[in-house]
Structure 1
């Protein structure tokens, strides 16, 4: 499958790299209010306006819609569930109502649909422990009700962020250089991969005939402490952070959540862990 691709959510880590790695084939739209210099040239979404959404689809007639737009801040979602559902679920529903039948919907979800320790493949039942995770599950169900759609669950993508201070690596550097406190959760493990590897795999899946749910796994799960140590050393910074348990935090933190896949083929093969390979250029 090839042709025009719309990307909703180009200010997310993954969305930003989908837009920058594939500038000729992906047309990006950013979250409203984001004025980072790296993304301000792209148009903003107006997903509370059904007329605007319908107009975009009528004009673009996309072959694929890659949906990376969501509020991913677990604390903010936990403190205001109605707001989280309005953005993470209701906006998806609004888009689906006017999405042309010819357009393939590819929804990028998260390992936060799981919560407790475990290895999870595509047949595993969701078990979210946060409002954010529950909004992801609800949105997935809506997407999967549309024939031919694809839900891609990802772990932690590591790399450049649009604003230079979000995403795990940039967050560590930003706070370290400003001598701001950093707390790392020792009992949270993720499938952490380089963001450009993730973007290339998502783009390939979007153009494939795969439907249903697919996991993007890593060669191994890594703890947040291992990851922070590794990234700080790569950046030439001295690791200096507090270490706490997820159970000490005021908002839910997932445990050892390792994504695996029950499918074969190159599009389901594990991506290299951040700890074991160099980032792609």
Structure 2
């Protein structure tokens, strides 16, 4: 099975390449600039067609949440218009597309976890453009939109890696403690995505299509996640900085964040039998890899 993945340097594509190493029948084909440039609509269909994939995984996105507030046109092109073209291309090739989306399509005012029937209400440009991309993909029959959240891994740029380096260089770290979500390992997500790709490739069941949530069980604030990183690093003999928990008001950002973006994942469990490991367990695995010094795939911009 040939899986074309948009992007070459992100967490998900690197995790997919690592996960596919134990599957001799799966080939991950990362496609990025200049062959595929999501800001250039005319590059999208030719790049996908040239790879002759069995499944397309739309993983690349404009993820600079704060920058999107002032770079709206580019965020719209990459997060909304490009997924529409990817879905159209996949439909024309009669192959399934999996489009990764985000918890930030919600306003965060619900007290419990959001499920797939809850009405989105994004409160920043990033969330609005990602929601538009979802709608475009869902309008094309036979594809999947998969929302996940708070991704971390040994690859790319992410919160856990930032805390890892801050623990080694700072005596004191201030972290927001009133935003809650589901920290999710990109390594775990990649393994689940391979399962989803295989099922879609071999099974036309409509129940496998549509909108799904997939995050690790359990929730945390950003400060809770930082505390877990520092605790696990201290258990490995590394220095532990003093964590100061602060409200969002003390850490102003250009884009507003939802206070609650926890996702209910029962639907994908019922359809695919998928459930990720608890985030605390996966965090330890990620930190072990980061500290082991094992070579990872070179990350490109």
Structure 2-normalised TM-score? 0.79
Q: How many residues align?
A: 265
Q: Deviation of residue 131 (structure 1)?
A: 0.7
Residue number in structure 1 paired with 2:194? 203
State the 1:95 CA deviation.
3.1
Partner of 1:271: 276
Question: Which residue does the alignment assign to 1:109?
Answer: 101
| Alignment-derived partner of residue 212 in structure 1 | 210
1:27 aligns with 2:29: yes
CA contact (8 A) 1:8 1:68 kept: yes
Q: Larger helix proportion, structure 1 or 2?
A: 2
- Which residue of 2 is the match for residue 258 of structure 1? 262
1:225 CA displacement: 1.1
The unaligned stretches of length 5 or more in structure 1 are 33-42
User: 101-110 or 175-184: which moved more?
Assistant: 175-184
RMSD: 2.5
Provide the C-alpha distance between the structure 2 equivalents of 1:81 and 1:240, rounded to a whole number of angstroms. 37
Pairwise CA distance, 1:279:
2.4
Output the CA distance in 2 between the equivalents of 1:219 and 1:265.
15
* C-alpha distance in structure 2 between counterparts of 1:185 and 1:112, whole Å: 17
Q: Could you tell me which residue of structure 2 aligns to residue 72 of structure 1?
A: 63
- Choose the corresponding residue for 1:159, options 153, 156, 180: 153
The 8 Å contact of residues 229 and 239 in structure 1, kept in 2 or not, is answered as: no
Structure-1-length-normalised TM-score = 0.84
Is the CA contact 1:194–1:273 (under 8 Å) kept in the aligned structure 2? no
Q: Report if aligned partners of 2:6, 2:60 keep a CA contact under 8 Å in 1.
A: yes
**Distance in 1 of aligned mates of 2:266 and 2:27:** 30
CA contact (8 A) 2:104 2:257 kept: no
